[in-house]
Amino acid sequence: MALKLPRCLVLLPLLCVALPVMAQTTVLTLEDAYTLARKSSEAVHARELAVERSRSALEEAGSRALPHVDLQASASYLVHPPQGYTVGAGTLGTLSSEIPANSPLHNPVPIPLGSFAIPPQDFNVGAQLHNYFTATASLSQPIFTWGKIRNAIDLASLDVVSAGTDLIAQQRDIDREVHRAYFGVLLARDSETVLKRIRDTAAEIAADRQNAFDQGTINRETVLEAQANLASIEAKLSEAEQSEATALESLGLLTGTEPKVEDLVTGFRTQFPVLDEPSLRAKARASSTALAASRTRMSQAGKKLAVEKGGELLRPDFSLGLQLGFLGQEDLPFSAWSWNNTTWDWDLVISLGVKMSVFDGLASLQRVRQAEKDLEMAGTGLSLDEKRVGLDVRKAVDAAVKADSDVREKQARADYTEERLRNARSALESGTASRDEEHAADIQAGSAELDLLFARFSREEALADIAHLIGERI
């Protein structure tokens, strides 16, 4: 007899496998947030579309150097086609076999050849059919354009470069926004924890003051002061809660997810990276999107000037043209149509075209001058951006070093206040300190911890600015 196991025992192995999976929590590291934001950002997607569009424009510009072929066909119906006129047989004369007597070819014996009428039969001249057809194929090929086509292709290529630079800049902006939102959540979360502890201590102080006031040992001003401090802490706690919700929603909007506070596993860094300023300056010059955009504008201005000079007066453009045409008439349907039909004709035209501007009111000269000024302005902007990149690195390093110094100072202050709190609690237990002293030490330790959190957040922001400048995460 087969042993039949209970259903729960049969499903137990499956449940044992599934439970660990169900128990897993979704984590979101800072690197994951960067990746998700770049994939889901509509702003980044718009820049990617701009790159694709510029590539299509480049292909269009390149097509201008290739031959262009056009086809044109038409079919017409003549309601009242010309009927023409009929030439009757013999109306143009007759050829006779009798040779005149005064002719050297005169033969006294007549030759029976008969006579021929001209024309031998009636025929129609000028008549047309109802249906009329034409077909034309034309080819045009630029031969020499003074570099206008080549420079236009180069301009389109630079537009691709410019769109790619804008895409990189947008990705870096997204990274910085993700960094700010991510650590904004951590700052609000940790601040909320500290503020709740301070709030509880402040509530105990307010209760103690109220009891002392009820016993008549203190005045009402002291009670109101404690209550005001408690209200201030509660306001800061509410602000931290709202900041956490806002930062969390911002992070979700950037990453396209619905993260929870407990999902964020990347914390504030504990070690400050080594900042080699000369190396950072070199990296910033090599990867700066602002500097790359200025270089591209410089190149674009140079190509634009070349295009305008190619369009100056008395500079002819040469092109080759071929045109093949067919025309004829045929009744529908084409049952009796053939290539040797005399109603059809074709022709091939080969032409060499020359186009040149002789006088345009000096408009081309003014365009050249404008292009020269654009080139000069682009050069000035490039020089300014090159100087600005170094200054931006200097400011970013300055802010980061100062922020790290502030973190170390706040850390030392937090360590001191934490030790003071431990001593106050020990003294309270031994009876050598009052409850008010322990509360004051607790408030001071919480305030120092809050200052440390804000200092760490500021340091992260400063390092994010450096990463934005050099295009590398540090």
Q: Look up the pTM and report it.
A: 0.77
| Domain segments of the chain as ranges | 26-80+129-267+317-355
Q: Write the single-letter amino acid at 252.
A: G
Determine the average pLDDT of the residues in 358-373: 92
Residue 311, C-beta contacts closer than 8 angstroms, at least 6 positions apart: 146, 148, 357, 364, 367
Q: What is the pLDDT of residues 399-412, one digit of tens each?
A: 999 999 999 999 99
8-state DSSP, 100: P
Q: Any idea of the CA torsion for 10, 12, 14, 17, to the nearest 10 degrees? A: -160
- pLDDT, greater one: 154 or 331: 154
8-state DSSP, 99: P
CATH class in words for 26-80+129-267+317-355 = mainly alpha
Q: What is the pLDDT of residues 90-130, one digit of tens each?
A: 777 676 655 565 666 555 555 555 566 777 777 766 667 77
C-alpha distances in Å from residue 258, one per residue of 247, 261, 462: 12, 10, 27
Q: What is the pLDDT of residues 71-81, one digit of tens each?
A: 999 988 877 77
Q: Write the single-letter amino acid at 145.
A: T
Q: What is the pLDDT of residues 260-292, one digit of tens each?
A: 999 999 999 999 999 999 999 999 999 999 999
Beta bridge partners of 318: 144, 354
User: What is the distance between the alpha carbons of residues 148 and 306, in angstroms, rounded to a whole number?
Assistant: 7
Q: Does 159 have pLDDT greater than 60?
A: yes
Q: Would you state the pLDDT for residue 176?
A: 95
Q: Write the single-letter amino acid at 170.
A: Q
What residue ranges in 164-224 does DSSP mark as E strands? none
Residue pair 263/251 in contact (Cβ under 8 Å)? The answer is no
Question: Could you tell me the pLDDT band of residue 252, with boundaries at 50, 70 and 90?
Answer: very high
Q: Which of 196, 184, 192 is nearest to 268 (CA)?
A: 184
Q: Does 201 have pLDDT greater than 90?
A: yes
Q: Does 18 have pLDDT greater than 50?
A: no
Residue 272, token pair as written in the block: 């400050």
Q: Would you state the pLDDT for residue 329?
A: 76
Residue pair 300/162 in contact (Cβ under 8 Å)? The answer is yes
Q: Would you state the pLDDT for residue 9?
A: 36
Question: Could you tell me the pLDDT band of residue 349, with boundaries at 50, 70 and 90?
Answer: very high
- pLDDT, greater one: 302 or 361: 302
pLDDT, the chain, mean: 86
Q: What is the pLDDT of residues 423-463, one digit of tens each?
A: 999 999 998 888 889 999 999 999 999 999 999 999 999 99
Residue pair 148/311 in contact (Cβ under 8 Å)? The answer is yes
Q: Within a 10 A sphere around the Cβ of 214, how many other Cβ atoms?
A: 10
Q: Would you state the pLDDT for residue 131?
A: 79
Place of tokens 């170390």: 408
Question: Could you tell me the pLDDT band of residue 1, with boundaries at 50, 70 and 90?
Answer: very low
Q: Would you state the pLDDT for residue 341?
A: 52
By the 10 Å C-beta count (0-12 exposed, 13-18 middle, 19+ buried), 280 is classed as buried
Q: Would you state the pLDDT for residue 417?
A: 96
Residue 38 falls in which region: left (phi positive, over 0), alpha (psi -120 to 50) or beta? alpha
Phi, psi of 45 (to 5 degrees): -60, -40
Determine the average pLDDT of the residues in 9-16: 38
User: What is the distance between the alpha carbons of residues 286 and 280, in angstroms, rounded to a whole number?
Assistant: 10
Residue pair 432/248 in contact (Cβ under 8 Å)? The answer is no
Strand, coil or helix: what is 333? Answer: coil
User: What is the distance between the alpha carbons of residues 249 and 256, in angstroms, rounded to a whole number?
Assistant: 10
